[in-house]
Structure 1
């Protein structure tokens, strides 16, 4: 099978072309000498000859200067598309989410579809300035490498009457049945404050619970106050790690009529949805800050930044859209 490979014009080819044209040879004759298509030679003249006769040194200088210029992908020059991408990025959307949502919203309009790579490339070829700094600041996580999740005192300890994750219903793994949650804490400065995170495995809906402290009683009260707004049919199990803050899990399970199971030690992948969500939340709850100052209203607003975002795992529907299909009216979706 014959394949084509594109080659840029070299300085030697430009010397040959300049000499041949100066001796009166036609464009097609020079194309045959260079073993190039006549259209290629024609474009070379249009780009680099300008109004003066074609000169190899001038053409090479212009071609080199053009090659050094960063190029914004052509689709991002669209007067509607690029402002739309900028708005979505500034609101916290990732390139993959923005691209997936566009493809979902305009399945038959290629002019309004983009790949995640095009969006990502469009950001990094922007010239330096306030706009580029603003968009870079909207990136999810500033750090480049994963660091230890907790520091200071040991979070683990012996919890009485734990139910192992091995005893969790099989339907939890398939994510086909809603009502199964993953929970954890995001710790503040010096582990002195915390915010509770709850993620529903099927819809990926995020709830944030304010905690008065990091002790077991505060955690039980915080999760109880948040989960009691969730309908009983959507409140079946809660998977947690073996942190000592869950020592009062039996009271929590009895109050909410929910089964609480515990992941194996040092196995964060068994609660991968929650771990991934915590990484997204660090954009709004930075490490080293005092989380006790975040009010329930503020935490609801942060959760509402995540829940309307399209998710690839939901075919670029949003958690709120999927949740609305499961429940016609939900105070949780309204951020209570």
Structure 2
């Protein structure tokens, strides 16, 4: 069976940069990222200039190579399958019933079938305005926001007053509206150096900020300097 190569993520490239700055070997970096040494070696050879690896430049090169357009979601509002689902919703079928019906109609065509969870996402996430109100009105429970399924009340290890990522607005989740960012902090070997990452969710634009330590002040100062 042919092996599938998966490109490094932005965060992984930041780890590569910090560990290279710390004079770590290719095998050490590969072990830290649970990647093969050949993958790391190929990344360094392809994107390093004069022996220096720059995560920003590496990410830019990777983006330039990705010439294929992003695949639309299965239930995109302009798609035929979405219109089939919409028709059955207007007949007051539940997403579960629609999913079973599609599977019965086209059992051997994965492009024509979706799960009920995908249908719920298509109702609550992708549409806007009147279309969204129409689809929600077709549900038996007309909730404007879908509640996540309960997994019990055990709150051990939770941070008091923590804001869960699951309650962020739908426009952030579906990456349609620019201006929403995700942040992360990556530490090098033995915590000798750190890199903060900010990724704009719609465009994939990345900002990296090197810092000497991971204190709150250092993180704020480093991001302020590059923004």
Fold similarity call, TM over 0.5: no
Higher radius of gyration, 1 or 2: 1
TM-score, scaled relative to structure 2: 0.37
